[in-house]
Structures are given as structure tokens and as C-alpha cells.
Amino acid sequence: MKPEYKIISDLIEKDAKVLDVGCDDGTLMEFLKTNKNANIRGIEISKEKVQTCIAKGLTVIEGNAEFDLKQFPNDSFEYVVLGQTLQAFINPETVIKELLRVGNKAIVTIPNFGHWKVRLNLLFKGTMPITNSLPHDWYNTPNIHMCTIKDFVRFSKIINFKIFKSLALINENVSDINNSNLIFKNLFGELGIFLIEK
Amino acid sequence: MNIKQNIKTLIVEKPLKLDCGQTINNFPLAYETYGSLNNEKDNAILVFHALTGDQFVTGINPVTKKDGWWSYAVGSGKSIDTDKYFVICANVIGGCMGSFGPSHENPKTKKIYGTNFPVITINDMVNAQINLLDFFGIKKLFSVVGGSMGGMQVLQFISNYPDKAKTAIPIACTSSHSAQNIAFNELGRQAIAADHNWSDGDYNSKNVVPDKGLAVARMAAHITYLSKKGLQEKFGRKLQERDDLKFGFDADFQIESYLRYQGSVFVDRFDANSYLYITRAMDYFDLVKQFNGNLSNAFKNTKAKFFIISFTSDWLYPTQENKEIVIALNAVGANVGFVEIESDKGHDSFLLNVPDFLKALKNFLDKSYAEKHS
């Protein structure tokens, strides 16, 4: 299980109605069902993974978050989770707005492109960074809109949404991000986890 | 015909007001069951059949002596596991496997109904079958399942009886018959009507059968159940038991021979007037219009857990039309899952050995059943 699942779960109240966008094999859904008794639904683009979710007894819709979120009415869920996929969308702005329309709150996690290893990789090699969490070449990566923790914080001001809580994951340890440590977290955080609201 | 007399039949005494305005009562509803009903009576699955199906879902059909139409999906250890669930299936009214249909005798005139049989709808079919619940003493079905026209009945059933099923699985279907669907059905009906033997539906009294017309109807329909790719892979331009073209109009190609065969075996088991009535019922099906343009309202009162399944190569009831049902369900916050199964086998995929489909169906049912019993 990915280390951030426990952190995401801690952000969600018991019995909440949750949508997991890009729910993968349903691991987080199961975790939230067991630990938070969440009323949970998922959207997943891969047929194979949808099958895995069905085999786990999870309610999942095969679909693409960029086009298929529009079928949900406003405020259908208390929380909408988007785990490490914002960077893969053609239009991340639309997706964020859709998340916040469909859910009262959203939890968005982003792989941090500002991490020092990524920076060094580009600085010394002069080629697009390839790391453990970003294993693709530039020409075959699904991650077409990479951003840093700092970028996401700026993004919140530009398209006008509130960041309720921001956390950085460093070596499986979680810590708060605030204005005074942003430069530091942006350099060492592998993952940014944000609880956001309209 | 002796076999047909041994078909299990429920005589529905309660009057049923049909959409056309007529009321019927004391009519026969032929059915079959598989597996056994448990003491809690909560393991029953009502399966709805498609256009040319019947109540003999699995095992050997006692009338045709062939495998039941859903033998891949229903049976011991299969997706719809008869060791676990009590499966009920009824022949739709308007059909020709024992339920009240156009080949029955009108008690008033002592003549076969033919085209004097009332036009029936999907709604009428479902309202006839609800009587099976009382008959078996079932308060709530574990599931309602069906593909194609069977899927339409699933949607209509939940809309009419929102608290009578825990789960609902409409497969490869639509909430509203499209112009293309109607067009193909009309082609079939016109083929039957063009057969001289049809005699405006009165062929029974003349002891003839419009078999040529019905066979053409079946051939045309059969093409719509397959995909271009599937046909090309199975038949291509292969010749039928000959080395070269014969420069005539016999079946040179295997696909021609195949379609002729499909047509010829169909007329032995199906009644031409039933074909007219059931295709008409499908064409009239428009759940969207029934709810004044808002399909969501058909499902706003149900707590049933839905699982919608479509197939990539199904161009008769394409994924988009199945997705519209998903969208309507999400709009009212219903519990709905959806998967599009990869298959080259066209609309017929739901009847065939498509492992991904059979796996999804089994997993959904078994997990939903376990949830309820944990």
C-alpha cells in the first residue's frame, strides 16, 4: 500500500461519502471502506483495473476523469480524492474545478517535480529527469503537466481555491507545509498532499 | 406439441391493464427455474430473456433439444451460479414458448389471435412477470438480470418496482430504442409481411407458415448481432464446399450458407407473429419519454445496486447508450458500477464465451451476495 493512503485516510471523517478518481486497483477504496466505513465509489480508466475492483466488491465506473466527472451533480460527495494523476490530464485546471464542483472537499496528491533529485538530474545530465517515482522518458510519459509543490500553491491563488491543509511526504514521514518552510519542503518533499476547498 | 403442454405455467388471474388500453386476465405465463430457493427466500434472481429467447435459460431446452440460450453464464459454478442462487425466467407475454401470445386461441372467437392479439410493451412484459414473486413468496429478489431486450426489462422492472430487487444488471441495452434499432426491426417485420404465407397474420388457419419471411428477418437481425471484424475473421471470403465461384446465386460464400442455416433453424422454433409483437414492444420502449425526458426520474426511488455492462464491438446497443443509463443513475446518486468489455463478438457477446464478461458478472453477483450475508 502506498504510504500516502494512511495520510489521506486521516483527512477523512468516518462514514463520509467519497469518490476516488483514478482508483487504480481499489486499494485506497478498500482501506477507506474498512477504516472509515466510507461510502465509496471509484472511477478508473483501465478495464483491467476495473475488473480487479469488481472482484473486490467495489463500485467502480470505467471512465476518464477529464470527461466523465461531469455526470455527477454538484456536491455529490463529501470528499473527492485524486491521487498522483493531476499531472496526466490535458487540462488540470478543468479537472480541479470539476473535483471541487462534485465534492465539498478534494484531496489532491502530486509527485513533486521540485524535489532535489529531479533538479540535480536535469542540472547534471541535461536530459529530462527519470527517477523512481517518475520512471518514464519524456516521449512516453503520461505525465504531461508536471508541477512542483510550490507551483500547486501558486495554482491555488491563480484559479482561486483554498488549500485547507498541505502536507509533504519525505522518506515516508509526513510534515506540514507552511509559508515559512515552503522552499525547504519543495526541495525535499517527494509528494505533496493537499486538502482543498472551493 | 406434447412437450409444450408440459411447460411449467402460472395462470395469472389478476387483471393486467396493458399499455394499449386492453385488460387481460387468467392468462398463462410460462416459466422455468434452476437451483433452489433458500429458507430466507433471498437468493432469487429473475432473468429476463431477449427477443428470441425463452424461459429455458440453461441446460438442454426440452423443446429445441439444444443448449439453453445463456448456458455460458448460468449453471452450476457459473457466473449465475445455480448452486447458490434460485434462477427464475419466464417467457415474455407475446412470446411463443407457452406464455400468452398471438399463437393462442381467443376464447371468444375460438380462433387463433394472430394479429388480433393486443400490442404489448416492455412495461406489460414486466408487469406480467411480477406475479412470479407472489407465486414463489419472494418479497425481494436478490437480482434482476438481462441482456438486450432483457436489459430493457431490467430497467423497466426497477422503475416500476424500485424496492423489489437488491441488485440490477442491465447488459448491452438501451433506455430508448434508437431509429437504427427500429429500422432493423421494421426490416424484419416487412420480410415476414412480404411472405405470401403470412396472410395478414392468419397463417394458422391456413395451415401454412411464413417461414421464408421469418428466415429473412432472422438473417438480417443476425448480422446486427455480430461485428464486422468478427464476421471477417470467422468467414472472410471463404467459399462453401467448393473450390471456385459458381457464377450463380447459390451460397458460394460460407457467410451466405451460415446465414441461411441460421434462418432455417430459427423458423422451426419461433412464431412469425410473436416476432412481430416482440420487435414492436422493443421499438415502443422509451423510458426517457416515459419520464418526460429525464431518465433519472425512472430510478430516483430505488436503492438497488446497479452494474451496467457494455461491449466494445456492439454497434446495435453501443457503449454510449449504456453509459447514458450510468449517467442518469449517477445524477440521482444511485449506486452504480460500469464496465465496457473488450470483445470482437458484437452484440451477441453477452450470450457467448467472453471470459472477461463472465468473470465480471460472477464477481459482482458473488460479492454483492456475500456483503448481504456478512
Same domain, B268 and B310: no
> What mean pLDDT comes out for the span A102-111?
97
Please tell me whether residues B172 and B86 are part of one structural domain: yes
Residues of B in contact with A50 (CB under 8 A): 339
Give the start-end residues of each E strand in B165-315: 165-171, 305-311
Q: B338 touching A, CB under 8 A?
A: yes
The pLDDT of residue B343: 98
Spatial CB neighbours of B57, under 8 Å, sequence gap ≥ 6: B32, B34, B47, B49, B68, B69, B70, B71, B74, B87, B89
**Once rounded to an integer, what is the mean pLDDT over residues B341-364?**
98
The domain that holds B202 is classified in CATH as 1.10.1740.110
Q: Which of B336, B359, B360 sits opposite A61 (nearest CB)?
A: B336
* Tens-digit pLDDT profile for residues B200-250: 999 999 999 999 999 999 999 999 999 999 999 999 999 999 999 999 999
Residue A55 forms contact with B (CB below 8 Å)? yes
Across chain B, mean pLDDT equals 96
Q: What is the pLDDT of residue A132?
A: 81
pLDDT value of residue B4 = 63
Same domain? B243 vs B331 = no
Whether B148 sits among the annotated catalytic residues: the reply is: yes
Contact list, B307 vs chain A (CB under 8 Å): 54
Residues 7-46 (A) with a CB less than 8 A from some CB of B: 41
User: Facing residues of A62 across strands?
Assistant: A44
B147 and B113, same domain (yes or no): yes
A134 pLDDT higher than 80 = yes
Q: Which of B279, B297, B321 is the last residue of a domain?
A: B279
Answer yes or no: do B84 and B200 share one domain.
Answer: no
Does residue B242 sit in the same domain as residue B213?
Answer: yes
Taking the Cβ of residue B337 and every Cβ of chain A, the question of whether any pair is shorter than 8 Å is answered with yes
Question: B253: which DSSP letter?
Answer: B
Q: Which residues of B touch A62 (CB under 8 A)?
A: 338-340
Domain boundary among B279, B300, B315: B279
CB distance from A50 to chain B under 8 Å?
A: yes
Q: Given CB atoms, is B370 within the 8 Å cutoff of chain A?
A: yes
Q: Which residues pair with B170 in a beta bridge?
A: B146
From the CA of B80, how many Å to the nearest CA of chain A?
15
pLDDT per residue over A163-187, tens digit each?
999 999 999 999 999 999 999 999 9
Measured between CB atoms, which of A50, A61, A73 is closest to B326? A61
- Shortest CB distance from A54 goes to which of B333, B336, B363? B363
Partners of B23 in the β-ladder: B17
Q: Binning pLDDT at 50, 70 and 90, where does residue B374 land?
A: low
Name the residue facing B331 among A56, A62, A73 (closest C-beta). Answer: A73
Q: What is the pLDDT of residue B1?
A: 44
pLDDT in tens, B44-102: 999 999 999 999 999 999 999 999 999 999 999 999 999 999 999 999 999 999 999 99
Last residue of a domain, one of B219, B252, B279: B279
Closest CA to A197 of A89, A75, A112: A75
Q: Are B326 and B174 contacting, i.e. CB atoms less than 8 angstroms apart?
A: no
Chain B interface disruption, residue of A37, A51, A54, most B CBs within 10 A: A54
Interatomic CA distance for residues B151 and B14, integer angstroms = 26
Q: Write down the catalytic residue from B314, B343, B344, B348.
A: B314
CATH number of the structural domain spanning residue B171: 3.40.50.1820
**Optimal mutation site among B339, B342, B356, interface A, most CBs of chain A within 10 A:** B339
* Length of chain B in terms of residues written: 374
**What is the rounded distance in angstroms from the CA atom of residue A135 to the CA atom of residue A118?**
11
- Can you point out the beta strands (E) in B18-106? 23-24, 27-34, 44-48, 74-75, 80-81, 86-90, 105-106
Which chain B residues are within 8 Å of A59, Cβ to Cβ? 305, 335-337
State the pLDDT confidence band at A133, using cuts at 50, 70 and 90.
confident
Query: In terms of residue numbers, what domain contains B340?
Result: 2-177+287-372
Q: Which helix (H) or strand (E) holds A1?
A: none
Q: B295: distance to nearest CA of chain A, Å?
A: 13
The Cβ-side half-sphere exposure at B8, using a 13 Å CA radius, reads 12
Chain B, 297-316: which have a CB under 8 Å from a chain A CB?
Answer: 305, 307
The beta-carbon contacts of A14-20 under 8 Å, at least 24 apart in sequence, are A14/A38, A15/A39, A16/A78, A16/A79, A17/A76, A17/A77, A17/A78, A17/A79, A18/A77, A18/A78, A18/A79, A18/A80, A18/A81, A19/A43, A19/A72, A19/A76, A19/A77, A19/A79, A19/A80, A19/A81, A19/A102, A19/A103, A20/A81, A20/A83
Calculate how close chain B gets to A24, using CA atoms only, in Å.
14
ipTM comes to 0.92
What would the grid cell of residue B228 be?
A: 464486422
Distant-in-sequence, close-in-space partners of B106: CB < 8 Å, separation ≥ 6: B112, B113, B116
* One domain, residues B167 and B193: no
Q: Average model confidence (pLDDT) for chain A?
A: 96
A146 close contact with B: CB closer than 8 A: no
Q: Which domains does chain A have, with CATH numbers?
A: 4-197 (3.40.50.150)
Please provide residue B223's backbone torsions phi and psi, each rounded to the nearest 5 degrees: -60, -35
Distance from CA of B335 to the nearest CA of A (A): 7
Tell whether the model's pLDDT for residue B373 goes beyond 80: no
CB contact A97 to B (< 8 Å): no
Per residue in A15-24, pLDDT (tens digit) is 999 999 999 9
**pLDDT(B5) > 70:** no
> Is B314 one of the catalytic residues?
yes
- Domain shared by B7 and B122, yes or no: yes
pLDDT at B3: 56
Taking the CA of residue B128 and the nearest CA in chain A, the distance in Å comes to 31
Residues of A in Cβ contact (< 8 Å) with B368 = 57
Q: How confident is the model at residue B283 (pLDDT cuts 50, 70, 90)?
A: very high
Write the CA distances from B159 to A48, B287, B307, integer angstroms.
Answer: 31, 9, 15
Do B235 and B267 share a domain, yes or no?
yes
Is B340 part of the contact surface with chain A (CB cutoff 8 Å)? yes
Is the torsion defined by CA of B98, B104, B105, B108 positive or negative?
Answer: positive
Average pLDDT of the segment spanning A145-155: 97
For residue A59, give the chain B residue with the closest CA.
B337
Question: Do B126 and B146 belong to one domain?
Answer: yes
Asked whether residue B297 falls in the same domain as residue B169, the answer is yes
Q: Pick the residue from chain B with its C-alpha nearest to A74.
A: B331
Backbone angles phi, psi at B36, to 5 degrees: -135, 150
Nearest-Cα distance to chain A for B337, in Å, is 5
Residue B296 bears catalytic tag: no
Minimal C-alpha gap between A44 and chain B (Å): 10
From chain B, pick out residues whose CB is under 8 angstroms from the CB of A49.
Answer: none
pLDDT of B186 strictly over 70 = yes
Q: How many CB pairs under 8 A join A and B?
A: 56
Q: Cα–Cα distance between B119 and B24 in angstroms, integer? A: 12
Q: Check B54, B283, B313, B347 and give the catalytic one.
A: B347
What's the domain count of chain B?
A: 2
Same domain? For B186 and B171 the reply is: no
Contact A50 B339 (CB under 8 A): yes
